Amino acid sequence: MSPAPVRRKLHTPPVPASPFPYHPGSLLSVNDLSLDELNHVLARATALEKQDPLTRDRILAKRRVALLFYEASTRTRTSFELAAKALGADTALVSNLSSSIEKGESLKDTGLNLRALGAEAIILRSNSSGAAWLLEESTRLPVLNAGDGMHEHPTQALLDLRTILAHLRGGTTKVNEKTLAGVTVTITGDILHSRVARSNALLLPRLGAEVVLCGPKELLPEVAASEGPDSRGGVTIERDFEAALKRSQVVMMLRIQAERLAGLQLDLEEYKAGYQLTGERLARLAPKAIVMHPGPIIRGLEITSGVADGPQSAILEQVTHGLAIRMAVIERALNATALKSAPTSVRTSSARPAKPASRKGARA
């Protein structure tokens, strides 16, 4: 008689825990923020904006923040620097054009040297997608992603959200899954290369908004429709700009990123005919919509001067919201540092939920 088959207990393989972010103060992706944390950032942005500058600059007095910029920036760099200084922190700017990065020093070594100089947080702008994750892994400092290649720009999405809330929801700082229900945000232009589009597509549908991505196929591949936060959708593609405008409460225009267009055949005159936001189009199709743009704007290409400077434009308001948001995320980064007792070389992810699957649910 043959022996009875051994019944093996089936085990579902464990879901690998993402180690990122290592540091609870980091902001690598908009997905790093739970709904509670998002509300905290929005509330602190408003509180810090209102606070007397003479008391506000004691909050992070003499704390050290490094700004590491491998790519040109006007708005993000200046607002992060002003935000850190408004809280009393000392800042040091390291740019690829005036540092040993020019001599070939790696991102890891640059980060470790900044840490050795006492930096308690690093704000990173890089032209390499994923660089913020690498820097965080190398330094174990809180890293604030100020734009990584074609990947993410989380603080831009947060300041965009604050701008939308100011216009459409009375400036509330309390958001939930339904706060933006009924709001259609059309993002038009160079979606393919846009970290701004990705971060907004990940964030806004979590609050109930419908994100419509619009552009020609050269700049907007079909796969972009899967960029939303989860399988429930919230992100669609519309090639017809005028059809998209008609249903929009928010129109976000993007720059054609000439520096990233290598190999793409794009007829700019054809592009303007199909996708330029003109005063005539806006008046006819979206006379009540707010017009947004992360900057830099290229007047006469994706947007006309009349629209950029017109009454529906919230473009400069976005920049101002950036200052408040960046104060809040810098404070979050350095407070998390202060609360932790573990050495910086030790993984501290226990302060955050470890499994991406459960985190996704928590953020939905």
Which residues make up the interface to ligand CP (CB under 6 A)? 73-77, 147, 156, 294-296
User: How remote is the C-alpha of 2 from its chain's centroid?
Assistant: 63
Q: Is 341 helix (H, G, I), strand (E, B) or coil?
A: coil
CB of 72 to ligand CP, least distance (A): 7
Q: In degrees rounded to 5, what are phi and psi of residue 152?
A: -140, 155
CB 249 within 8 A of CB 185: yes
Which one, 75 or 352, has the nearer CB to ligand CP? Answer: 75
Which one, 155 or 179, has the nearer CB to ligand CP? Answer: 155
CB of 156 to ligand CP, least distance (A): 5
CB of 99 to ligand CP, least distance (A): 18
Neighbouring residues of 199: CB distance < 8 A, sequence distance ≥ 6 = 29, 30, 152, 153, 154, 156, 157
Output the DSSP codes for 289-328: -EEE--S---BTTTB-HHHHTSTTB-HHHHHHHHHHHHHH
Which one, 149 or 294, has the nearer CB to ligand CP? Answer: 294
Inter-CA distances, 30 with 119, 198, 363, 364, Å: 23, 10, 10, 12
CA atoms within a 13 Å half-sphere pointing along the CA-CB vector of 201: 28
Residue with nearest beta carbon to ligand CP: 76
CB of 217 to ligand CP, least distance (A): 25
CB 119 within 8 A of CB 145: no
Question: In this structure, what DSSP letter does residue 145 have?
Answer: E
Which one, 230 or 259, has the nearer CB to ligand CP? Answer: 259
Residue 243 identity = A
Which one, 61 or 72, has the nearer CB to ligand CP? Answer: 72
CB of 296 to ligand CP, least distance (A): 6
Question: In this structure, what DSSP letter does residue 8 have?
Answer: P
Which one, 25 or 147, has the nearer CB to ligand CP? Answer: 147
CB of 235 to ligand CP, least distance (A): 21
CB of 166 to ligand CP, least distance (A): 17
Q: Is 170 helix (H, G, I), strand (E, B) or coil?
A: coil
Which one, 113 or 127, has the nearer CB to ligand CP? Answer: 127
What is the C-alpha end-to-end distance of the chain, expressed in Å? 56
Place of tokens 């490094």: 66
Which one, 98 or 231, has the nearer CB to ligand CP? Answer: 98
CB of 43 to ligand CP, least distance (A): 23
